[in-house]
Amino acid sequence: MTLPCLPPDYGIWLDETRFWVFHRRQRYGPFDYQWSDDLDGIEFLYQGEKYGECCSSEEFFADLKPYRLPTRVSAVATVVTGTLIRCIFYGNATQDRKEQITGQLQLSGLSRYQLELRPGTHSC
């Protein structure tokens, strides 16, 4: 079954390591992550460009300012990225990650951004 590519007003589409944030029906992303070349940390990517990294639970750096994203998009991306990284460190399964992200969005006052697991959304 093919899922329609109609953008929500507000939401998040998650596809494996990538995700897109929808804000006022505009799509921002993909946000992604990858292991650093030395495998000592995880790099954060926006549209293929590095915008931050995490070397440990105490060393986390991210700067989306150069991309001039709406404030809410940056906030959502930060919550999702941080939660994904925490889930990776703890070895959480995909469904657990979804629940963790949803919970963190609610705690951050961003519950209008509903998370959907959307494999293959890069072609939408």
pLDDT, tens digit, 9 for 90 and up, residues 25-74 = 999 999 999 988 887 889 999 999 999 999 877 888 899 999 999 999 99
Q: Which two tokens stand for residue 7?
A: 């953008």
Q: With beta carbons less than 8 A apart as the criterion, state whether 64 and 76 touch.
A: no
**pLDDT reported for residue 29:** 97
pLDDT one-digit tens code per residue, 71-104: 999 999 999 999 998 998 888 887 888 999 999 9
β-bridge partners, 62: 52
SS3 state at 51: strand
Tell me what pLDDT residue 38 has: 83
Quick one: pLDDT at residue 31?
Answer: 98
In terms of DSSP H, where are the helices of the chain?
71-90, 94-107
Q: Please, which pLDDT band fits residue 1 given cuts at 50, 70 and 90?
A: very low
Q: Are 72 and 23 in contact (CB under 8 A)?
A: yes
Instruction: Answer yes or no: pTM beyond 0.75.
Output: yes
Instruction: Give the burial class of 52: count Cβ atoms within 10 A of its Cβ; 0-12 exposed, 13-18 middle, 19 or more buried.
Output: middle
Structure confidence at residue 60 (pLDDT): 85
| 75: Cβ contacts below 8 Å, ≥ 6 apart | 108, 110
Confidence category of residue 123, pLDDT binned at 50, 70, 90: low
Per-residue pLDDT, 3: 54
Examine the pLDDT at 4 and tell me if it is beyond 80.
no
